[in-house]
Amino acid sequence: MLHRNAIRAYQEAERDFLIDGADAHGLVEILFTELIVSLKLAKTGLEGADLSTKSSGVSKALSIIHVLATSLDFDKGGEVAISLAQLYEWSRRRIIEASRDNIAAYLEEVLGAISEIADAWRSIAVRPA
């Protein structure tokens, strides 16, 4: 138990360090990374019949999707923002369905879609001149 607490403290400190130094683009990248980790955690919990792990992953994933959805700028983002809003809403519903019906394949669908968006987001990172 003590070992787990030490690992958790280290992970939180590392995440806090990354967040403190991140710009807006970097923060979104961190959110995507954490979302992917949460979806994998939920899937692992679901597949292993571990309700606590599943619930933790689902809860965190839904929270991150909410943050991503509410941070969209529809004035500047136009059609891209609308498409992302639709993706986030679909993801939210699919995660809830996966949790309710215990269907890991639904989480895998969301994981695939979010991973593609995360990869695209990383590819457009602002590079120093």
Whether 18 is in a domain gets the answer no
- CA distance linking residue 18 with residue 67, whole number of Å: 18
pLDDT in tens, 75-124: 988 898 899 999 999 999 999 999 999 999 999 999 999 999 999 988 98
- What CATH number corresponds to the domain at position 59? 1.20.120.340
Confidence of residue 28 (pLDDT cuts 50, 70, 90): confident
pLDDT for residue 101: 96
Confidence of residue 125 (pLDDT cuts 50, 70, 90): confident
Residues 6+ apart with CB under 8 A from 80: none
Whether 110 is in a domain gets the answer yes
Whether 114 is in a domain gets the answer yes
Residues of the domain holding 39: 23-123
Number of domains the chain contains: 1
